[in-house]
């Protein structure tokens, strides 16, 4: 089958070539991929930034999102059948959606929202599950609480704003000048243009911050939280708890503990909690998200679509950090 493969780590690594067809396990669903989407995670994996956390074997087929059609199911699969239109974020150990076919454990899959085409459906899983696992699962965001979402025009940010508004929160977001009105249209109550204002001098007494940016923004975010608030980062630094959950070795757990020591100490001093969230595949959560999409509560946002043959260009575009919403790859 055709696939986008990396043979080594590096920014320019990657080629479109042939890869072995997937092996379908008893609990797997074989999916013909019609569309995928490109995430910052894909670029980081390609560069080797997750080698310690995710020790993939090379050559590796990239890709963490898909929408497509079931072509075969394993012997123990109960919930899906050939012909079903589905979407998913595969479990992290078995990524590879930049390919014509992929085998995915049935627990990671959900039926595609009926009101979305394949391209729009493929833009959803990773970013929507990230937003869900930060706001619903970790923060337990309540009606009337205040949340700050950094990078509001990005893939995660654009979905998180919509989800937070649905949960009844007051939503502030940061973005650049060109995207201020667009982010307001997504539902943000207050938008900070980071080129004109320092968010930490404007915002106060927030319950939750969703951080997807660097260490400087992470530290400043502590200033906007009230005591008992939560600083939740999807861009690091990782914690020892995360390392334990990943089943990493004791030495790596200590490395993660040290990496996050500074921000955890600062958070404790201010009476707030720091957490690192590394999104995981979850078909049941994705089914909840499907219901919100079909109800019109959440809508996908696509910046640009690329052909399968232009996967390398799609990755380069995402690495620029200027995409408004998601970047998709169409295979069918």
- Average of per-residue pLDDT across 220-242: 95
Q: Which pLDDT band, with edges at 50, 70 and 90, does 299 fall under?
A: very high
Helices (H), the chain: 40-47, 118-122, 125-132, 155-166, 180-186, 199-202, 215-221, 240-245, 250-259, 261-269, 283-294, 311-319
What's the pLDDT at 321? Answer: 86
Per-residue model confidence as pLDDT tens digits over 270-292:
999 999 999 999 999 999 999 99
Per-residue model confidence as pLDDT tens digits over 139-159:
999 999 999 999 999 999 999
Q: What is the DSSP letter of 12?
A: T
What's the pLDDT at 245? Answer: 87
Residue 15: φ, ψ to 5°: -155, 155
Give yes or no for residue 12 having a pLDDT over 80: no
Its sign, for the CA torsion 138, 247, 128, 178, is positive
Three-state SS at 265: helix
- Average of per-residue pLDDT across 31-35: 98
What's the pLDDT at 55? Answer: 85
Q: What is the mean pLDDT of the chain?
A: 95
- Average of per-residue pLDDT across 41-68: 93
| CA–CA distances in Å: residue 16 to residues 60, 120, 138, 211, 253 | 12, 23, 38, 33, 36
Give the residue among 20, 22, 285, 301 at the shortest CA–CA distance from 155: 301
**Structural domains in the chain, sorted by start:** 2-124+300-330 (3.90.180.10), 126-276 (3.40.50.720)
What's the pLDDT at 246? Answer: 86
Give yes or no for residue 51 having a pLDDT over 90: no
What's the pLDDT at 31? Answer: 98
**Do the bridges between strand 101-105 and strand 28-38 make them parallel or antiparallel, or are there none, so unpaired?**
antiparallel
User: For 190-205, b where at least 16 C-beta lie within 10 A, e where not — what string?
Assistant: bbbebeeeebbeebee
Furthest-apart CA atoms within the chain: distance in Å: 58
Per-residue model confidence as pLDDT tens digits over 101-132:
999 999 999 999 999 999 999 999 999 999 99
The span from the CA of 163 to the CA of 157, in Å, is 10
What's the pLDDT at 54? Answer: 86
What's the pLDDT at 11? Answer: 79
Give yes or no for residue 68 having a pLDDT over 90: yes
What's the pLDDT at 50? Answer: 86
């Amino acid at each position: 089958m055709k696939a986008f493969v990396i043979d080594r780590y590096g920014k320019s690594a990657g080629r479109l070539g042939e890869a072995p067809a997937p092996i379908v396990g008893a609990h797997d669903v074989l999916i013909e991929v019609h569309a995928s989407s490109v995430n910052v995670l894909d670029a980081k994996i390609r560069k080797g930034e997750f080698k310690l956390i995710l020790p993939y074997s090379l050559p590796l087929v990239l890709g963490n999102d898909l929408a497509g059609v079931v072509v075969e199911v394993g012997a123990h699969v109960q919930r899906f059948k050939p012909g079903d239109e589905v979407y998913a974020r595969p479990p992290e150990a078995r990524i590879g959606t930049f390919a014509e076919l992929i085998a995915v454990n049935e627990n990671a899959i959900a039926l595609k929202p009926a009101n979305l085409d394949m391209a729009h459906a493929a833009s959803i899983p990773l970013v929507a599950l990230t937003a869900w696992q930060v706001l619903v699962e970790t923060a337990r965001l309540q009606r009337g609480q205040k949340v700050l979402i950094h990078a509001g025009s990005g893939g995660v940010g654009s979905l998180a704003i919509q989800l937070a508004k649905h949960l009844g929160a007051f939503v502030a977001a940061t973005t650049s000048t060109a995207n201020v009105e667009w982010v307001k249209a997504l539902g943000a109550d207050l938008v900070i243009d980071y080129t004109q204002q320092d968010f930490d001098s404007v915002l106060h007494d927030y319950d939750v911050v969703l951080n997807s940016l660097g260490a400087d923004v992470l530290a400043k975010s502590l200033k906007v939280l009230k005591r008992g608030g939560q600083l939740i980062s999807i861009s690091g630094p990782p914690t020892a708890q995360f390392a334990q959950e990943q089943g990493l070795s004791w030495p790596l757990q200590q490395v993660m503990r040290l990496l996050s020591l500074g921000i955890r100490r600062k958070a404790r001093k201010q009476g707030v909690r720091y957490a690192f969230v590394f999104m995981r595949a979850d078909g049941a959560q994705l089914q909840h998200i499907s219901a919100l999409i079909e109800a019109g509560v959440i809508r996908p946002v696509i910046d640009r679509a690329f052909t399968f043959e232009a996967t390398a260009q799609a990755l380069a575009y995402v690495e620029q950090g200027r995409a408004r919403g998601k970047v998709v790859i169409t295979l069918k």
